[in-house]
């Protein structure tokens, strides 16, 4: 297969943004890099058919969300744990609220986290999320509701006074 400079240009231009998106989906840099790599491999295989389309990034992001959900289905019976580091760790997040939110998001089940990422990070509607994940709108709503309930219980006041009030004001 001959290398297409437009594909290489797309990867060079949008690679960092895709990695950030993967991090928000997966909750850690290693799984994020795996998601990006797998999605870009799929894009490369489909590139001859997609290059006429205006938005290959949409294809990659949809693929990443589906891959993440599929991985969740395969791993949902595994109990994953992280050993604490033996040395100190300097958190680069600006505040306790952001760290608490990140920890709370990482603690959500994969499907719930994906629904929240697609809704609040990507700005997709329930209908669009349902299409991306191949689930019903009702499932999208119930997963979002459960996820927000878990976040409220973990982060508490910060969610009610910070994130949720900001979201309500933007509507």
What pTM was estimated for this model as a whole?
0.51
Q: Which helix (H) or strand (E) holds 127?
A: helix 126-133
Mean pLDDT of 140-159: 81
DSSP state, residue 3: P
The three state secondary structure string of 60-107 is HHHHHHHHHHHHHHHHCCCCCCCCCCCCCCCCCCCCHHHHHHHHHHHC
Where does the pLDDT of residue 5 fall: very low under 50, low under 70, confident under 90, or very high at 90 and above? Answer: confident
The structural domains of the chain, ordered by start, are 1-76 (no CATH), 95-171 (1.10.10.10)
At 105 the pLDDT is: 85
Mean pLDDT of the chain: 78
Q: How many residues does the chain have?
A: 171
- Chain centroid to Cα 12, Å, comes to 20
Mean pLDDT check: name the lowest of 61-65, 106-110, 161-165: 161-165
Phi, psi of 91 (to 5 degrees): -75, 125
């Amino acid at each position: 297969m001959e290398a297409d400079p437009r594909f290489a240009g797309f990867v060079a231009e949008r690679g960092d943004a895709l990695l950030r998106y993967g991090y928000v989906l997966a909750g850690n840099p290693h799984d994020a890099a795996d998601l990006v790599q797998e999605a870009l491999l799929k894009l490369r295989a489909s590139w001859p058919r997609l290059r006429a389309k205006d938005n290959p990034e949409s294809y990659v992001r949809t693929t990443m969300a589906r891959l993440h959900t599929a991985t969740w289905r395969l791993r949902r019976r595994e109990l994953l744990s992280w050993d604490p580091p033996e040395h100190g760790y300097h958190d680069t997040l600006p505040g306790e609220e952001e760290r608490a939110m990140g920890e709370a998001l990482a603690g959500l089940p994969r499907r719930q986290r994906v629904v929240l990422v697609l809704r609040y990070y990507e700005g997709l509607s329930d209908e669009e999320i349902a299409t991306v994940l191949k689930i019903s709108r009702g499932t999208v709503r119930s997963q979002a509701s459960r996820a927000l309930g878990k976040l409220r219980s973990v982060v508490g006041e910060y969610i009610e006074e910070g994130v949720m009030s900001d979201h309500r004001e933007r509507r």
